[in-house]
Amino acid sequence: MENIIISTEFECHSCGNMAYQGYVINGKTYDVNCASNDYDTTIVGLFEKSKHDDFIVEQIKMHVNNKNKKDNKYSIFLDDERMPSQIYPKNTLDVMENKNMIICRSFEQAVKLVKEIGVLPFYISFDNDLGVDENGDILLEGKDFAQWLIDQDLDGHFEIQKDFSFFVHSANVIQSKEIKIKLNNYLNFKFNN
């Protein structure tokens, strides 16, 4: 069974949705975030598990190959539903390839990714509202991840680099402003004092 990683616009064989990031197995294209039965059975042996939260480790293997972690350059697209092509329609290839962008669907996925790679991303595209759990409770949001990044830097666990930048693509105007103010204030404090 040949598995080919793809990074171009395509239609998922399982769900029929248009996707950007995925793989080809036995001539069929699959969205990396698809959780259908076809995906669960076909992917055995390529990915450790087939649920959304477990794709992080394999995405790292696909996108970050440098063994020297200080040289690892990657970015995060944090959004529970949308794909980068919906936010960056005119330059999706540039964003995905040149920024080495990895899609995270939750706060927990983004934190897990950072811990696996061992360095903070140099670019983040933020959504704020990342959905609700099975009880209808609001999940941790983009603003929480922004605060987590700051806390990691302050505590010396991971360092925000001088070339770090971000974009807030959330439709939530109030929380978008909060993310921008929070990060810009911290970056100004860190690099201009």
**How would you list the strands of the sheet with 18-25, edge to edge?**
3-11, 18-25, 28-31
Give the chain's domain count: 2
pTM beyond 0.75: no
Give, in order, the Cα–Cα distances in Å from 26 to each of 2, 42, 126, 190. 6, 9, 35, 50
pLDDT digits (tens, 9 = 90+) for 46-68: 333 333 444 444 444 444 444 33
Residues 6+ apart with CB under 8 A from 153: 120, 159, 160, 186, 190
Please give the residue range of the domain that contains residue 23: 3-50
pLDDT digits (tens, 9 = 90+) for 98-117: 677 888 889 998 998 898 88
Predicted local confidence at residue 46, as pLDDT: 33
**Residue 103 sits in the same domain as residue 44:** no
**Residue 153 sits in the same domain as residue 132:** yes
**Residue 61 sits in the same domain as residue 25:** no
**Residue 130 sits in the same domain as residue 64:** yes
**Residue 69 sits in the same domain as residue 134:** yes
Q: Using an 8 Å Cβ cutoff, are 44 and 35 in contact?
A: no
* CATH assignment of the domain containing 164: 3.40.50
